[in-house]
Amino acid sequence: MGAMSRRTPTRPEPCPCGHPLPYDKCCGRLHRGEAAAANPEELMRSRYSAFARRDEAYLLRTWHPRTRPPRVEFDPAMRWTGLAIEDTADGTAFHSTGTVTFRARYSDGGRPDSLHERSRFERVDGAWVYVDGDFID
């Protein structure tokens, strides 16, 4: 009888958006196209995670066609380190628009900083997409 090898269970990867669900069950399912964001906050969280993971395809897919850039440029010195949702308005099943105010923390070349924004979202063909935002501070 041979010795059985024991595998150490791997811990699920945390979601960059800060939600307690692991990435695979949180933003990962949206990034893979298995689900669509149910509201602007969920889309905001998934887009933050896409920036953190440098998922250009998801970011472009969830950007409003009239404001979408041709591509997303990622700064290799920038590392996203945390997201705080401060406020949401509208964006329910009864709305066609919504806003999310958030603060996204990052480090740029090791220097900590943050981005404070009030983002606008709209439904296009039933799906929530990012339109644009206003910087705060």
Interatomic CA distance for residues 64 and 56, integer angstroms: 14
- Residue 96 is part of a domain; what is its CATH number? 3.10.450.50
pLDDT at 7: 65
Does a structural domain hold residue 14?
Answer: no
pLDDT tens sequence for the chain (137 residues): 445 556 666 888 999 999 999 999 999 999 999 999 999 999 999 999 999 999 999 999 999 999 999 999 999 999 999 999 999 999 998 999 999 999 999 999 999 999 999 999 999 999 999 999 999 98
Q: What is the pTM of this model?
A: 0.91
Domain encompassing residue 60: 23-69+79-135
Query: Burial letters for 96-115: b for 16+ Cβ neighbours within 10 Å, e otherwise?
Result: eebbbbbebebeeeeeeeeb
Tokens representing 105 are 């923390």
pLDDT at 10: 81
pLDDT at 9: 66
pLDDT at 1: 46
Give burial (CB, 10 Å; 0-12/13-18/19+) of 36.
middle
Does a structural domain hold residue 17?
Answer: no
